[in-house]
């Protein structure tokens, strides 16, 4: 009985370390820190909101789909703020909790990276960092070259998939173990 418990504990430890290694390689070069959730202070002025507010400010654009022509992407970030020094801050709100994870979900990082590019082309200026705010924590994410390079790779993969109608699955135990497609429509199985 003790051997079984030790084996299960050892297997859980191996799975944990594999998850940390995969996360390291996915997020390598992307800089972020986990903080208590809060909106920006008064040094930032709201310039865009994806939804109309109960009280509207004439200096704020509401609900418009923003576009980056050079990258051929568009979207509606939750909020874009401009600092007194001219830099922008993109805020993306998530309805779920992040729990004890030490990093945001990769898809959320790519969404924020796309919004960095959209905000910079649409409004002009630079975005030093953005916020991904979950119910329980937020991540302050730096706008780095590595983050943009990863975004360009994801966009290329998505466009290739749309063009060819096929995608190369990058299945792994860590990424796919809880997916509803595991063992059904996806080739990856545990």
Q: Which residues make Cβ contacts (< 8 Å) with residue 117, sequence separation at least 6?
A: 68, 71, 73, 148, 151
Q: How many domains does the chain have?
A: 1
pLDDT at 169: 62
Report the chain (190 residues): mean pLDDT per 10 consecutive residues: 47 48 55 85 93 79 94 95 95 93 91 97 94 95 94 91 75 67 64
pLDDT at 57: 81
Do the bridges between strand 127-133 and strand 88-93 make them parallel or antiparallel, or are there none, so unpaired?
parallel
Domain containing 38 equals: 31-143
pLDDT at 170: 67
Q: Is residue 71 part of a domain?
A: yes
Q: Is residue 61 part of a domain?
A: yes
Q: Is residue 108 part of a domain?
A: yes
Please, is 182 exposed, middle or buried when counting C-beta atoms within 10 Å of its C-beta (0-12, 13-18, 19+)?
middle
Q: Is residue 180 part of a domain?
A: no
Q: Is residue 177 part of a domain?
A: no
Q: Is residue 96 part of a domain?
A: yes
Q: Is residue 17 part of a domain?
A: no
**pTM exceeding the 0.85 threshold for the entire prediction:** no
pLDDT at 16: 46
Q: Which of 65, 66, 43, 45 is nearest to 57 (CA)?
A: 45
pLDDT at 33: 83
Q: Is residue 63 part of a domain?
A: yes
């Amino acid at each position: 009985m003790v051997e079984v418990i030790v084996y299960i504990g050892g297997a859980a430890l191996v799975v944990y370390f594999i998850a940390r290694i995969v996360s390291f390689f996915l997020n390598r070069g992307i800089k972020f820190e986990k903080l208590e959730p809060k909106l920006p202070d008064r040094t930032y002025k709201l310039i865009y909101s994806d939804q109309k507010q109960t009280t509207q400010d004439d200096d704020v654009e509401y609900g418009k789909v923003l576009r980056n022509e050079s990258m051929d992407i568009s979207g509606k970030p939750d909020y874009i703020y401009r600092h007194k020094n001219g830099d922008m801050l993109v805020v993306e709100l998530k309805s779920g909790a992040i729990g004890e994870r030490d990093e945001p979900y990769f898809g959320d990082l790519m969404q924020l990276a796309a919004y960095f590019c959209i905000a910079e082309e649409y409004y002009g200026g630079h975005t030093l960092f953005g916020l991904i705010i979950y119910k329980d924590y937020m991540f302050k994410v730096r706008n780095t070259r590595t983050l943009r390079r990863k975004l360009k790779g994801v966009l290329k993969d998505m466009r290739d998939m749309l063009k060819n109608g096929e995608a190369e699955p990058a299945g792994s135990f860590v990424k796919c173990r809880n997916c509803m497609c595991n063992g059904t429509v996806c080739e990856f199985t545990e």
